[in-house]
Amino acid sequence: MSWSLNIGTVAGTVVRIHLTFLLFLAWIFAASYAQGGSASAYDSLFFMVLLFTCVLLHEFGHIFTARAFGVTTPYVTLLPIGGVAQLERIPEEPRQEFLIAIAGPLVNVAITLLLVAFAGANLNASAASAIDNSQIAMIDRLAAVNLFIALFNMIPAFPMDGGRVLRAALASRMGYVRATEIAASIGQVVAFALGFLGLLYNPILIFIAIFVYLAASSEAHMVALRAVSRGVPVSHAMVTQFATLAPEAHVEEAVQTLLATSQGEFPVVDAAGQPVGLLGRGDIIKAIKTLGPDARVAEVMNTDLPTIGHRRSLEDAFKLLQEKQAVAVAVTDAAGALIGLVTSETIAEMVMLQNALPRGATLGPWNRPSSV
Catalytic residues, by residue number, are 59
Nearer Cβ to Zn ion, position 97 or 161? 161
Q: Minimum CB separation from Zn ion for residue 255, in Å?
A: 46
Nearest residue relative to Zn ion (C-beta): 104
- Judged by CB under 5 A, does residue 265 bind Zn ion? no
Using CB atoms within 10 A of its CB, is residue 352 exposed (0-12), middle (13-18) or buried (19+)?
A: exposed
Concatenated DSSP letters of 167-212 = HHHHHTTS-HHHHHHHHHHHHHHHHHHHHHHHHHT-HHHHHHHHHH
Cβ(27)–Cβ(87) under 8 Å?
Answer: no
Whether cis (ω within 30° of 0) applies to the bond prior to 365 is: no
Query: Looking only at residues 135 through 154 of this chain, which bind Zn ion when binding is defined by CB under 5 A?
Result: 153
Query: Looking only at residues 65 through 124 of this chain, which bind Zn ion when binding is defined by CB under 5 A?
Result: 104
Nearer Cβ to Zn ion, position 95 or 286? 95
Residue among 198, 218, 220 at smallest CA distance from 207 = 198
In angstroms, the Cα distances linking 124 to 39, 97, 121, 129 are: 24, 33, 9, 9
Q: Minimum CB separation from Zn ion for residue 208, in Å?
A: 14
* Number of residues engaging Zn ion in binding (CB under 5 A): 3
Q: Which of helix, strand or coil describes residue 278? A: strand
Give the count of beta carbons closer than 10 Å to the beta carbon of residue 169.
15
Provide the β-strand partners of residue 279. Answer: 266
Nearer Cβ to Zn ion, position 150 or 245? 150
Nearer Cβ to Zn ion, position 110 or 295? 110
Q: Minimum CB separation from Zn ion for residue 144, in Å?
A: 18
Q: Minimum CB separation from Zn ion for residue 81, in Å?
A: 12
Query: Which stretch, 157-165, 169-177, 254-262, 298-306, contacts Zn ion (CB under 5 A)?
Result: 157-165
Q: Minimum CB separation from Zn ion for residue 303, in Å?
A: 35
Q: Minimum CB separation from Zn ion for residue 26, in Å?
A: 25
Nearer Cβ to Zn ion, position 63 or 338? 63
Nearer Cβ to Zn ion, position 165 or 350? 165
Query: Which stretch, 6-14, 66-74, 161-169, 208-216, contacts Zn ion (CB under 5 A)?
Result: 161-169
How far apart are alpha carbons 11 and 140 in whole angstroms? 31
- Judged by CB under 5 A, does residue 161 bind Zn ion? yes
Q: CA Rg, the chain, in Å?
A: 24
Q: Give every strand in the sheet of 4-10, ordered side by side.
A: 4-10, 13-18, 75-79, 82-86
* Residue ranges in contact with Zn ion by CB under 5 A: 104, 153, 161
